Structure 1
């Protein structure tokens, strides 16, 4: 009996240390990082929803670079498309360009060390964000830099939901065709993407690199937008403001719908005041328990008239919110707790009605390839699935 009590006490102590490591790390993170809202700009935005079309444009731009490349991804892996990408960076560095590549320590863990060494030997400056560190080992192991930012010659920018890999071309036999939203940016706001890249680069490397902003860039005409970076906080408040702003219709597109109580309550209030709320998610999940964690919130929203569609023709990875014809969000931030409390994200907010309606049309097209989840079918879920949902809810903050 004494031995059993000792084991229990040791386990309780270990759990307490893990909790303390997470709690102290999170508090320190909040004190050091906040939200960065860049100014409203006008410029040219090109929308991509297909990986092949995006990569064709993206690879052409980085191949044609003349001065510098600043590139940041959550996921770069070890496959054909990623090796081609790294080969281009090596070639551009050999040509004398300044090439910086910032990867998330966890998201890009599959990149071979030999490939990184080849890049560095060729002159590419490579760094990794969010390496686990003491004393807050648990928190630093869980938080990631989820941003996807690329800047070519300080004049062309890319931001959105696509990472790099064969999966995003639809070549994963399990996930199938990959649907996402990404932006190509031209204009003064490219400086804002570059600013954010160097904020992250300097944190990861302890350097103090700066950049020279574009000169003589006019902002007359074009699409009105601004960018916003968040660091494991404040994104929930931004999404709350968007839900409260909706008067007629609200589209929420996300691969991971785990909004938490505060946002769910706000969505219910929107439904009660007559807002047509549509949620578009993938039919199948790409990570364990993510799909199950969403069902708790489906059950709270469906009785109030929320329409929930599940995309079945491949995997749906878009992170998009559309409020009436007034505001549209495209970026890396998901409608889930991980983006609210752990991940570094970068989102673009667009205000021009013509562009917003174009995005809305892509959503409506995807709804045609989706299945409507009814409250009746929700109530008939198998007992085993309900059990998995309960397990998923325990870990929902980290999914």
Structure 2
């Protein structure tokens, strides 16, 4: 009887995840070109200082969505600011991923609501596809202030992202501050996600004030468990000289791996920056078979030493760049909700290339000798990590 129950339970999980994956394959992604003005952040102190300053200056609306909001010193600094603005009459909406932000205490949520902040979880567990809903995550990070200033990128809200967690030390991430018409698109995406949890939400004209166009044009790529891999492959296929990839997790699957190998074989210099230590079980071991193949083909793998590397960036020929929330892994390609920004602005590309160069200087080159010197325990974990890679 117990055996039959176990079989039934495993079948239920498998069917649930199969139906969820089939549903995601039908999801539509969007790619829209819009004018923008851009500012780039790679340092947590700079990013948080700028974001808090903009929140403090808000007069009408604050709409904030993060995958992770910690209930710690850094998180509460932001929560205090949001409560202060809500109490002064500013409309404040906060959307946090149900699993990513599970550490927020009920008392903290109650405090936010009592001071006028409207708080909701995104991607809550639900039936009938319980395991699918537990696995699907809203990984987007979007903040829109007064409909005029927008943020998107890799930073979450918490001590580690401010470099205040001794486990990780300095935290390296890439984030964008945006102005111009692109902010309207960020606002629309926020309310699309917000409305899934709050069906009665209404889009008011005040959320979309007239904006100057911006000095450049960007493409916002919004996905829900689909089409990230295809865009990455398309960009890499266009490379003629250099490809720089920055990601905390490298578990690309066969299609993207083949695309990168093809680029190397046609003479393109490919450099990848990864963290030297992982913040997730099994992630490094799942990546090593891919990295071994890349190193043998001539790719340079740089492991960041100066803290934890969490940036997500793809720079092609110093001519086009993709920065956003999507990692180079199966979860970002097939499960998560993501948002990325693709642009060709020369001054911004120069700044990002200089940042990447500094990050490489603060990294250690991974070679075959170090890969072969992994412990027996790590080698045994490898095959299991590869099997689990879609869920890591």
SS at structure 2 position matched to 1:55: helix
Q: Confirm or deny: 8 A CA contact 1:47 1:181 kept in the other structure.
A: yes
2:99 maps to 1:118: no
Which residue is equivalent to 1:12? Answer: 7
Q: What is the rounded CA distance, in whole Å, between the counterparts of 1:348 and 1:338 in structure 2? A: 19
2:71 maps to 1:82: no
Aligned length in residues:
391
1:220-269 Cα deviation digits (max 9, x unpaired): 6x232121110011111111111111110001100011101111011111
RMSD: 1.4
Aligned positions of 1:1-399 closer than 5 A = 7-31=2-26, 33-41=27-35, 43-212=36-205, 214-219=208-213, 222-399=215-392
Which residue is equivalent to 1:3? Answer: none
Q: Confirm or deny: 8 A CA contact 2:24 2:226 kept in the other structure.
A: no
Normalising by structure 2, we get a TM-score of: 0.97
SS at structure 1 position matched to 2:291: helix
1:9-61 Cα deviation digits (max 9, x unpaired): 44333211110011112223343x320212232x2211111101111110010
SS at structure 2 position matched to 1:309: strand
Normalising by structure 1, we get a TM-score of: 0.95
Displacement, 1:322?
Answer: 0.3
Q: Confirm or deny: 8 A CA contact 1:66 1:97 kept in the other structure.
A: yes
Query: Which consecutive unaligned segments of at least 5 residues does structure 2 have?
Result: none
Q: What is the rounded CA distance, in whole Å, between the counterparts of 1:164 and 1:216 in structure 2? A: 30
Query: Which consecutive unaligned segments of at least 5 residues does structure 1 have?
Result: 1-5
Q: Confirm or deny: 8 A CA contact 1:188 1:214 kept in the other structure.
A: no
